[in-house]
A and B are shown apart, each in its own frame.
Chain A
Amino acid sequence: MKKLLPFTLLFLLICHPVLANDISLGEKLILDKKTLVSEINDEPEKYLGKRVRIEGIIIEVCAARGCWVEISSDVPFQKIQVKVVDGEIIFPMEAKGRTAAVEGLVEKLELSHAQSLAYARHKADEQGKEFDPSQVTGPTKIYRIRGLGAVIK
């Protein structure tokens, strides 16, 4: 049994993020000042390319790859998407409903009508919802955060 102890300790060390209450993902958070999601949504161009720290409830997680989350805003019915590089950070499904502090760069996606249709279809597929092409009427701009690091509480 004594021989198994180092392996058991190693396994626990490796599995630490699964077992931990606070889950740290990606880069360490370095910003002290929190930016409100509503401020980014109101004036996204002002924050474009800037590193921001936001906090809110994780209301949706990418079910296929854990490569994005949606964070609720301080203003009712608003949210913002945090997209991460596939594999670099993987948000666990258990994160849904937990509070998160996320840091990342604000970015803009400018999609043509065809790209907007493809994007909407992709999102509908991800969420298991029916795709309604009539909801996409033209080119769209999407502001989101390119996530660099997160702490899920």
Chain B
Amino acid sequence: MKWRRINYVLHRDIGYLCIGLTLIYAISGVVLNHISHQFNPSYNIKKSETYIKPFPAGTEPDMTLVDDILSQLNETGAFKNVAMLSPGNIRIFVEGNTLDVQLATGKTLQEKVTRRPLLFEVNYLHLNKAKGVWTYLADIYCVLLGLLAITGFLMIRGKVKTRGIILTLLGFIIPIIFLTYSL
């Protein structure tokens, strides 16, 4: 088999192998690019403020009080924990919700957190939260991307030679120009 044929077969088959992973990293890459304090790419975080019946001064926080607060808010999520943040301020953790209650006023801040479907999973892989096995799989994917680039470069010839050279150069020039002006 001629080396050009081998190169073509390698490029084609590695390309097929990389389709799924590339889509995962592409989708995740876009959302992770826009990460900020206002936008969490993996979770939907909804904050809201509401008022419940205030509690008399000196009320000792206990599970009866927690149950009372949760029932006033119709919160049915599984109870996780409770902590006193400061005198008169209680934080209740239930599955998917965190409630900060000012006992004297009844002012309650709720923070409901849910996973963004699909984005949570692709970000989980992109950020390599799993570590272990995924580290090696992601390394292999990087090597395959490098092979795709090399085999792609070696396919530049014939009628598309000029176009291939220009587009390849653009791929190098764009980041160089950006770095020149941003560093």
- CB of B93 within 8 A of CB of A96, answer yes
Query: CA of A13 to CA of B137 in the docked complex: distance in angstroms?
Result: 12
Query: CA of A10 to CA of B140 in the docked complex: distance in angstroms?
Result: 15
- CB of B37 within 8 A of CB of A126, answer yes
- CB of B133 within 8 A of CB of A64, answer no
Near B by CB (< 8 A), chain A positions 42-101 give 57, 59, 63-65, 72, 76-77, 87, 90, 92-94, 96-99
Stretch with Cβ within 8 A of A (4 or more), from B65-73, B84-92, B141-149 = B84-92
- Assess whether B176 is interfacial by the CB under 8 Å rule: no
- CB of A14 within 8 A of CB of B83, answer no
Contact of A98 among B47, B80, B87, B113 (CB under 8 A): B80
Q: How large is the interface on B (under 10, 10 to 19, 20 to 34, 35 or more residues)?
A: 20 to 34
Supposing A93-B113, A126-B37 touch, asked if A77 and B85 sit within 8 A by C-beta, the answer is yes
> In the complex, what residues of B have CB within 8 A of residue A34's CB?
none
- Assess whether B51 is interfacial by the CB under 8 Å rule: no
Give B residues with C-beta under 8 Å from A: 35-37, 40, 42-43, 45, 47, 80-81, 83-87, 91, 93-94, 98, 113, 124-125, 127-134, 137
- CB of B113 within 8 A of CB of A125, answer no
Name the residue on A nearest B89 (C-beta). Answer: A77
Contact of B87 among A14, A63, A77 (CB under 8 A): A77
Query: CA of A14 to CA of B122 in the docked complex: distance in angstroms?
Result: 12
List the 6 shortest-distance A-B pairs measured between CB atoms, nearest first.
Answer: A97-B93, A97-B80, A97-B81, A125-B37, A93-B113, A93-B43
- CB of B130 within 8 A of CB of A17, answer yes
- CB of A65 within 8 A of CB of B35, answer yes
- Assess whether A16 is interfacial by the CB under 8 Å rule: yes
